[in-house]
Structure 1
Amino acid sequence: MKIVKSLLPLTMLLLSGCVVGPDYQAPDTALPGKFSEAAGKSAGDTTLNPWWENFRDKRLNELVARGMNENLDVLQSLERISESQANVILAGAGGLPQINGGGNATISGEDGSLVQRQGGSVQSTKNLAGSVGSSWLLDFFGQYRRARESANASLDAAYDNVNVARLAYLNELTTTYISARFFQEALALNRLNLQSRRETLKLTQDIRAAGAASSLDVVQAEGLVNQTLAELPPLETGFYQSANRAATLLGVPAATITPLLIKAGPQPTPRHSTRVGIPADLIRNRPDIRSAERNLAAATAQIGVAESQLYPSLTLDGTIGAARTISAMTGNLTSWSFGPTLTVPIFNGGALRAQVDIADSVAKQQYFAWKQTVLNAIEEVENAQTGLIRDYQTVAAVRRLVASNEEALSLARESYRGGASTILDVLDAERNVANSRLTLAATIRSLANDYVALNVAVGGGSAIETPVPTPAPGRKVAATQ
């Protein structure tokens, strides 16, 4: 007891010692006050914005809701939360007292002809023993506190990575759905073109029967019909591949979603604009930026873990053992021991210092990764916004072009019937109508894709149906940066 009383003040002194390594500070970088083509006004929290509903497409909304927690990438990210939570417990366990118990029992004796000749009797001895041992590494340089700090930051990053996976899912599912509807629209337009070109072929055949057209005119009209027929299979392939991809994203076998999409629907077109906000909003709303910041915090704490290895460590060890022997002579024996063990690193060839340098370098790499993530996010917003603004302009211009070409085709046919123009004029007009219609469909697809890209770039909808972080014992949830 005297030893315990003398060591208690020393223990309290050591436990109140300093924690080595740098204290983490959130990173900072210079950001512009506004995006180049947006008003300098904050968009607030965009992580709960269901932006895909602006397409007003019930089928798309159903698919998004169906796969929100069924996408396999999202499920993997959710499972990594459990792994990170276990790592938090593991990181702090070393700083707690370790108690282990054990026991054994044996029986021994002698038997045989020699014992019988000597008139002896069979003797047996039973030995029962048990022990309890304890060990406590006093964390007075913060090795386990820094390790727990690092594990907590990694757990925060795991929650953010769920949002990263969910945002990637939303991006790919919506663009895949947009592609499927584009291929359906292109198929419908090509079938419409096919009908128009067959009418032109019949008109040419009728005029040739009247002696006012040549066989060359008929052959040229037939060639345009066959060209249109050849364009249909690739578009059908594109639709089925898009439907199969949507099924995989929803976590079901390919072709499962095809029956739901086989009925053609209008191309998705956004009905409302997107609030872009300011670059500083991305620090809060982009899950990949938050994850990179948490990884930086985890790497910074690891510097302290490495530095703590440079200093002495003190361990308190104790054992209590009890044994009982049952034989001709029966007795009990109890033993115990208690005392500190001091370990001082003297010479290790520079390995411990190298570990500190490695941890410091890893932290610097994580800072650069965080900064690169921020800059990439700003670039993605700028590019998507620039594309979306000009897509609206392009769609309006192509709509006018389609109307002009359709009118020109009508005039060309009337002129051809009257003999004032050739079949080439009609065929050229049909090509212009077909090409402009397909261009309009492709432009609407680009508009929808850029709308998706812009909302993903600002972190829209990333936190919908995402679990709220549950603090582990002794853990504080990281504040939003």
Structure 2
Amino acid sequence: MVSLRYATPALLLLLSGCVVGPDHVPPEMALPGKFSEGGKKSIGDVATTAWWTAYNDRKLDSLVQTGLSQNLTIQQAIERINSASANVTIAGAGALPALDVGASHTISGQTGELRDQPNTRNTSAGQLSLSWLLDLFGLYKRSKESALASLDSAYAGADIAKLSYIQDLVSTYIDLRFYQQRLALSKANLKSRQETYDLTKFQLDAGAASRLDVVQAEGLVQSTLAEIPGLETNIRVSAHHIATLVGQPAGTMVDELMRGSGQPTFRGGIKSGIPADLIRNRPDIRQAERNLAAATAQIGVAEAQLYPSISLSGSISPSYINQRGIHGGLSAWSFGPTLNLPILDGGRLRANVDVSKSDAAASYLAWKQTVLTAVEQVENALSAVRRDAQTVDALRAQVRTTQETLELSTASYKDGASSLLDVLDAQRQVSLAQASLAAAVQQMAKDYAALNIATGGGFAPGGKTTGPGPVKVTKGS
């Protein structure tokens, strides 16, 4: 007979079970110590950095804050967090005992002409059922582990949605102000070209200009008029998209956004940090790592199904019968273990393990690809933003030069020392230079936004997060 002293620990060990399958190990990847055009200093956690305030545009600041609470894509991502949280409860529920209670009351009888026929019978019954699947090999433990990792992934997904919203909003706002600047330039050029056209008609009447000169001047006026409707359309399209981003009907913000400042230009330093910062700061990298953790836990789930399972079940069914001449109660009960041993399944369970391993391998490759893509995005944005100022300075100098050329050409034409063709060509050059400058200012503002988005900054301005902080991940040297 086995001593109770030794049987009790053995029983507890059996009930606690073991956990099969690999444990998740945070992935590692060797990264350079710095970006090719960056410094060697870490920028730390940039989640709360409101980098768009560097544009010094209060309207933009207000739109960002409004949309973070009203954007529908962000709200959908938060609902996915609620769903993932419920899945954690579902995954862990299987390892707990299940208790069901039921009750019933029935009335039965017979009709007919037999003498001394019994009257109706009243039967009251109840049932209490208990079942418990012993998690001997960690099936439910791994399931809950996978669900928790998926919950972390959902939190990271909400942060990704916030970053995507900020990038979309800031980019669209920059486009809106660019089109407004282009419209203002076109209207100013139209006024200048109209004056040239009027002057040419006057000189034609005086015999100092040809009909060809008048037609050429008029053609430049018409080409400028043709630009304006397209620019006005682009302004309204940008305003419509901004309204949609902040959860408003498309046409409700047009008038409000038409009253705006000039093109956004950032005032502040350029900080990229080091590649290792991306592991902590980029929510898409954190999401990929959590997806890998969930996939790794699923290997344990699949492997646990290869082993036997034991379930304990029992039930008690008391009943009471009341009938003329008969009354009293009965109680039926049962209790016992059930062993389920998979033997022949056509290789299905083993194939499930192979599928889970392949999914985990694919998740690791996805994590690695996400890291490399993040590094590339920072490198590209850093290269662009460091050179944008040079382009803007050169184009500003070109605008000044072309404007001076136009002034000299106009004065010379009025004095009869040059042809109208020189004036028209100078006007075209001014228009092209101004448009190029506006586009360069637009691109510089967008590149600054792209750099901050690429480093993972700004999805929790003011410290307001949707859930747990970034997952700690081991990084390669």
> What TM-score range do you get, normalising by the shorter chain?
over 0.9
Which residue number in structure 1 is paired with residue 36 of structure 2?
36
What is the aligned counterpart of 2:250 among 247, 254, 258? 254
Consecutive unaligned residues in structure 2, runs of 5 or more: none
Q: Give distance in 2, aligned partners of 1:467 and 1:378.
A: 25
Q: Does 1:330 align with 2:327?
A: yes
Equivalences for 1:410-449 in 2 at 5 Å?
A: 410-449=407-446
Match of 2:64 in 1: 64
Structure 1 distance, partners of 2:6, 2:86, is 37
Aligned-pair distance for 1:205?
Answer: 2.0
Partner residue, 1:396: 393
**One-letter amino acid of the structure 2 residue matched with residue 223 of structure 1:** G
Return closer, same or farther for 1:45/1:304 CA change in 2, 3 Å cut-off. Answer: same
1:107 aligned counterpart, secondary structure: strand
Higher mean displacement: 366-375 or 459-468: 459-468
Per the alignment, in what secondary structure is the counterpart of residue 68 of structure 1?
helix
> Within the alignment, does 1:273 sit opposite 2:269 as a pair?
yes
Residues 355-397 of structure 1 deviation map (CA, whole Å, 9 limit, x = unaligned) = 0000000000000110111111111111111111121110000
Match of 2:195 in 1: 199
Aligned ranges 1:184-263 → 2 under 5 Å: 184-263=180-259
Q: Is the 8 A contact 2:100 2:129 kept in 1?
A: yes
Residue aligning to 1:93: 93
Equivalent position to 1:344, from 341, 360, 378:
341
- In structure 2, the CA distance between the partners of 1:5 and 1:82, relative to structure 1 (3 Å rule), is farther
Q: Normalization by structure 1: what TM-score?
A: 0.95
Aligned residues of 1:153 and 1:478 also touching (Cα < 8 A):
no
How far did 1:280 drift? Answer: 0.6
Partner Cα separation in structure 1 for residue 209 and residue 117 of structure 2: 130
Report the more deviating stretch, 16-25 or 421-430.
Answer: 16-25
Q: 1:318 aligns with which of 314, 319, 326?
A: 314
Question: Unpaired segments of 5 or more residues in structure 1?
Answer: 471-476
- Percent of matched pairs sharing the same residue: 52
Q: 1:341 is paired with a residue of what secondary structure?
A: strand
Q: Which secondary structure does the structure 1 equivalent of 2:133 belong to?
A: strand
Question: What residue is the counterpart of 2:75 in the other structure?
Answer: 75
Aligned to 2:375: 378
For 1:15 and 1:272, locate their aligned partners in 2 and report how far apart those are by CA, in whole Å.
62
> Given the two structures, how large is their TM-score scaled by the length of structure 2?
0.95
Q: Please give the per-residue CA displacement for 1:422-458, whole angstroms capped at 9, x wherever unaligned.
A: 0000000000001100110011001011111111000
Q: Distance in 2 between matches of 1:122 and 1:150?
A: 62
Separation (CA, whole Å) in 2 of partners of 1:213 and 1:168: 58
Whichever residue aligns with residue 425 of structure 1, its letter is D
Distance 2:5 2:344 in 1: 33
Secondary structure of 2:250's counterpart equals coil
- Distance in 2, matches of 1:391 and 1:479, equals 35
Q: Tell me, in whole angstroms, the C-alpha distance in 1 between the residues paired with 2:454 and 2:6.
A: 62
Give the C-alpha shift of residue 20 in structure 1.
0.2
Counterparts of 2:200 and 2:317 in 1: how far apart (Å)?
Answer: 109
**Taking structure 1 as reference, are residues 146 and 158 closer, same or farther at Cα in structure 2, changes over 3 Å only?**
same
Greater mean deviation of Cα atoms: 18-27 or 330-339: 330-339
2:457 maps to what in 1? 460
Secondary structure of 2:333's partner?
strand
CA contact (8 A) 1:111 1:122 kept: no
SS at match of 1:102: strand
For 1:325 and 1:274, the matched residues in 2 are separated by 85
Q: Which residue of 2 aligns with 1:473?
A: none
State the Cα deviation string for residues 148-196 of structure 1 (Å, max 9, x = none).
0000000001001000000000000000011111110000000000011
Query: Using the alignment, how far apart are the partners of 2:52 and 2:446 within structure 1?
Result: 11
Q: Is the 8 A contact 2:280 2:472 kept in 1?
A: no
Q: Quote the offset at 1:207 in angstroms.
A: 2.2
- Number of matched pairs: 469
* Code of the aligned partner of 1:443: A
Partner Cα separation in structure 2 for residue 462 and residue 140 of structure 1: 43
